[in-house]
Amino acid sequence: MKEGEDRREGFSDAFTLLRDVAGEQIVFPSPEAAAEDVKRVARSFGADLAGITYNDLRWRYTHKFSDISGTERPNDIPDELPYVIVTAQAMDHDLIRTVPSALSGAATGLGYSHDALVVLATAQYIRNLGYNAIASMNDSALAIPLAIKAGLGEYGRHGLLITKEFGPRVRLGKVFTDLPLALDQPIDFGVKAFCDICRRCSQACPVKAIPHGDPSTEIHNQSNLKGVKKWSVDGEKCFSFWVGQNSDCSICIRVCPYNKDHTKWWVRVGRRLAGTPLRRLMLWLDVKLGFGQRMPPKQWWRGRDRKGVSNG
């Protein structure tokens, strides 16, 4: 605490976001040990997933938007923070089953709220170790490419990250740091090959913002990245739909066959088979068994699951 700040320790003090970097640095035996430590701490703060990659400036925003002036302002994440810890928070499965609905916005809001706690606490933990760390949510850089490089999941046709554990039902956070950390590697559990044969998201999108075809460098408008071969979603069409209905949408998350409760063994078996030549069968079963159908919000309030059985 700085002299003259009139601060108190602990619960009696006013909230502040981040305290200064500690003067003394804790030295880890290796970047692997530091990475293990930081990921364990992030999980203990509530991160559902955590991975590490380097701060690839290609994905960093050059500027931010100022609500006050209505113009751009600099992105103040320093270049000399070479590592990024990417975290993911799962959104509530049952709430997402009610999309599109005002109710489902609670899943998004809670995901971001948990994310804020995780990234702020993790950044402060690293600062207490004597290294710089800056917590960030959606304001600094594209999260999905960083999450893919950090091994959290793969890229889906709907333009979202698909994780093994929660499918696309996640919100992402980032901590930029100069603490030397071992990097994670991208993973492959068959998503690209599955998306090649699946069109559930592009068929369900009410404004046809998701492409039906192969990945390409084609862009829709200024909101797309140029020069990257991928499935590009028309974000402006998508957002216009949100504005029109006064709520967010997420139908593409609800209908995605990877959006399931992966704590169940049979879901994990299905995911494994979806990464094999049996993927067409798994897609057929997904539709046949009625996964991805909307749960009316009233049903959620009554605490009943998809087949009308009480959840207690």
Interface ranges with ligand SF4 (CB under 6 A): 156-158, 194-195, 198-201, 205-207, 209-210, 233, 238, 241, 249-252, 255-258
CA angle 146, 147, 153 (to 5 degrees): 140
Q: How far is the CB of 150 from ligand SF4 (least distance, A)?
A: 20
Residues forming a β-bridge with 49? 88
Nearer to ligand SF4, 43 or 199 (CB): 199
Nearer to ligand SF4, 51 or 211 (CB): 211
How many other CB atoms are found less than 10 A from the CB of residue 121? 17
Nearer to ligand SF4, 134 or 160 (CB): 160
Q: How far is the CB of 92 from ligand SF4 (least distance, A)?
A: 17
CA angle 35, 40, 43 (to 5 degrees): 125
Single-letter amino acid, residue 133: A
Would you say 88 and 48 are in contact if contact means Cβ atoms under 8 Å apart? yes
Q: How far is the CB of 112 from ligand SF4 (least distance, A)?
A: 16
Question: What is the residue-wise DSSP string for 97-160?
Answer: TT-SSTTTHHHHHHHHHHHHHHHHHHHHHHHHTTS-EEEESSSSB-HHHHHHHTTSEEE-TTSS
Q: How far is the CB of 45 from ligand SF4 (least distance, A)?
A: 29
Q: How far is the CB of 282 from ligand SF4 (least distance, A)?
A: 10
Q: How far is the CB of 9 from ligand SF4 (least distance, A)?
A: 45
Nearer to ligand SF4, 107 or 209 (CB): 209
How many other CB atoms are found less than 10 A from the CB of residue 8? 10
Q: How far is the CB of 107 from ligand SF4 (least distance, A)?
A: 13
Nearer to ligand SF4, 127 or 271 (CB): 271
Nearer to ligand SF4, 244 or 296 (CB): 244
Q: How far is the CB of 248 from ligand SF4 (least distance, A)?
A: 7
Nearer to ligand SF4, 28 or 242 (CB): 242
DSSP percent split of the chain into helix, strand, coil, nearest 5: 35, 15, 50
Nearer to ligand SF4, 117 or 142 (CB): 142
Question: What is the residue-wise DSSP string for 52-72?
Answer: EEE--GGGB-SEEE-TTTSSE
Q: How far is the CB of 293 from ligand SF4 (least distance, A)?
A: 14
Single-letter amino acid, residue 255: V
Would you say 67 and 38 are in contact if contact means Cβ atoms under 8 Å apart? no
Nearer to ligand SF4, 108 or 124 (CB): 108
SS3 216: strand
- The span from the CA of 52 to the CA of 30, in Å, is 15
Strands 72-74 and 161-163: what pairing? unpaired
Would you say 198 and 292 are in contact if contact means Cβ atoms under 8 Å apart? no
